Chains A and B, each alone.
Chain A
Amino acid sequence: MKKILLVISIIMLTGCVSTVEPWEKGRFAKAEMQFEPDTMDAAFKRHVYFSKEASSGGTSTSGGGCGCN
């Protein structure tokens, strides 16, 4: 876990970061550049994978459970 965190931190803090001016942010306004372009679809799939796999979480808090088996 610590190794993964270290590698990701190094990637984030090195070379690929450059100054972005406000007028260069147009691409980030596009729906496809959001972390969750379709929140309903993402929420439903999180529920499916939460029900059918041992792992959950990562990009959201866990919320309530269900009796899915």
Chain B
Amino acid sequence: MNSRNNALALLSVAASNILATHVHSAQVAEQFQFGVRHHNYQEDPLTEPLGGSPERYDINVNQFSLIAPLSDTADLSVSYQKEKMSGASPWYTLKFGDEEPLQVMSGASIEDTRTDVSATLRVIDDFNSYGITAAVSEEDDYKSASFGFKYSRETEKRLSTWSIAADFSNDDINPVDADIYTTRPMDTQSKHSASTLGSYSRILNKNTLLQLSVGLSKKSGYLSDPYKMVITQQGLIGDARPDSKISKTIATQLRYFVDPMDAALHLDYRFYTDDWSIDSHTVDIAWYQNLLFDVQLIPSIRLYSQSQSYFYDVFYTQERADNYYSTDYRLSEYGAVTLGLKLIKKFDSWSMTLSADKYSSSGDTFLANTDVENPALIDFTLVSFGFDLQF
């Protein structure tokens, strides 16, 4: 009896190791995989705005994903996302003497929907993987179309993988109410983007996996925000930014399995720099704890900080020679912390997931340390719920 059980155990181990041999190599889906998520994104109200509504964005998102096996060497992924948003958005800042700057908001009447569809076809040929992706996104005032490809190659012992990816997009912006607000462009504005990413991943030992990625991106065209305004010596003008931006990234992702805890540690770091003089650091740490009854609990923390762009100011008291003006908090110096908790319960052929994330930002969080904090910095809560099914 014992020898029979031992033989079965050995066969089981051998089978799992054969499967594991191909881990982290790209694999074609063998079953249909369907996923659905509902997200609620809620920004905290702004304290003491000078005008407009303090209520900021409340966004409900439904997200669907389907992966379909096409053959032994190909599969197709399709994703669909629909967002419904309402709330107010920061318009411009005011400052009286030595007092703190104040934020003027839009009315709470902004309502919009965004629909995003993408499809990816993958073909895998032993050590090589090829993928092409096409995506479109549409809002009342914004349309985007993008196309990308990815190639990956594993080394002979399947310990390392090299990947290169590139994509191109064209976006058209058609601001609403341009006949009412003279700071908004009347004609359709366009921007173009091209980005490339090179990655190398390597199994370091039987518990550790590491990836290094280097990225380069260029955006050109209309990069301003048509809905934001700035008070200058010339009066109230539209947000005005350079018409090109080049950014570079370097990122690492570490995965370490902790045997005694039956848990996995995720440690990610990204450095970002661009020619608008914004540098940022992002650290993501997550702990995937396996529990009884196929339950997984995942606490996480994300730390982020960025420097300000060279033309940003919280309020302009002097004219700029280059005529670039923006008081957008996203171009200011600040830092943010996201605390997250996620629960996954697995059943035979499906699983359910529930998560909550709280994002808090300020002028002196993480590596940021600014003298004057932008009054429009956001805090938000994100709650998500969903299912995944295989058939």
Count, chain B residues at interface, CB 8 A: 107
Bound complex: CA A40 to CA B121 (Å): 17
Instruction: Select the stretch in B95-103, B191-199, B230-238 that faces chain A.
Output: B191-199
The B interface, classified by DSSP as helix, strand, loop or mixed, is strand
Assess whether A57 is in contact with B247, with CB atoms less than 8 Å apart.
Answer: yes
Asked if B20 lies at the interface with its beta carbon under 8 angstroms from chain A, I say: yes
Q: Is there contact, CB below 8 Å, between B89 and A69?
A: yes
Stretch at the interface among B44-52, B68-76, B161-169, B316-324: B161-169
The distance in angstroms between the C-alpha atoms of A65 and B328, with both chains bound, is 17
**CB closest chain-A residue, reference B271:** A4
B250 near A4: Cβ-Cβ < 8 Å:
yes
A61 touches B196 (CB 8 A): yes
Of A4, A12, A48, A62, which one neighbours B193 at CB under 8 angstroms? Answer: A62
A30 to B137, CA, bound (A): 33
- B116, B146, B282: which contacts A58 (Cβ < 8 A)? B282
Which residues on the B side are within 8 Å of A4 (C-beta)? 250, 271
A63 touches which of B61, B139, B148 (Cβ 8 Å): B148
* A25, B306: Cβ atoms closer than 8 Å: no
Q: Which 6 A-B pairs have the closest CB atoms?
A: A64-B144, A67-B142, A32-B288, A58-B251, A58-B270, A64-B146
Give 20 A-B pairs besides A41-B37, A63-B135 with Cβ atoms closer than 8 angstroms. Answer: A17-B202, A24-B206, A25-B206, A28-B203, A40-B37, A44-B61, A44-B63, A56-B247, A58-B270, A59-B211, A59-B268, A61-B148, A61-B196, A63-B148, A64-B145, A64-B146, A64-B171, A65-B191, A67-B141, A68-B114
